Amino acid sequence: NAGVTQTPKFQVLKTGQSMTLQCAQDMNHNSMYWYRQDPGMGLRLIYYSASEGTTDKGEVPNGYNVSRLNKREFSLRLESAAPSQTSVYFCASHSGLYETDTQYFGPGTRLTVL
């Protein structure tokens, strides 16, 4: 039982390049999330998927797109990376059944955009 996994762990991009961050969970959770973490700002929600087949914008969606590929997988795409997208990206999942359930996090992807 791996929980929430993310690939890659580290990535360096040049401005204008594109990339996709991958996330998978093996807990049969309905809901999945993408956050970015910046110093002094906590975690901010980029996009979330309440259930398979649905996605919605979070607090900071500009410059990102997502795909809920199936119940297990939720990817985040940067179409044209900018230095402002240098951050640590976390994927998380939640059962989607009970509000008191815990949200579980992956280990993160550290992205640098030059």
Partner 1 sequence: AQSVTQLGSHVSVSEGALVLLRCNYSSSVPPYLFWYVQYPNQGLQLLLKYTSAATLVKGINGFEAEFKKSETSFHLTKPSAHMSDAAEYFCAVRKSGTSYGKLTFGQGTILTVHP
How far apart, in whole angstroms, are the C-alpha atoms of residue 9 and residue 19?
Answer: 13
Distance in Å from the first CA to the final CA of the chain: 36
Could you tell me whether strands 10-13 and 109-113 are parallel, antiparallel, or unpaired per DSSP bridges? parallel
Quick one: DSSP state of residue 76? E
**What is the contact mask toward partner 1 in residues 7 to 46, using x (rule: CB under 8 A)?**
------------------------x-x-x----xxxxxx-
- Taking the least distance from each CB to partner 1, the nearer of 82 and 97 is 97
**What is the contact mask toward partner 1 in residues 49 to 68, using x (rule: CB under 8 A)?**
-x-------x----------
What tokens were used for 107?
A: 């280990």
Rounded to a whole number of angstroms, the minimum distance from the CB of residue 114 to partner 1 is 21
What is the binding site for partner 1 (CB under 8 A)? 4, 31, 33, 35, 40-45, 48, 50, 58, 90, 92, 94-96, 99-108
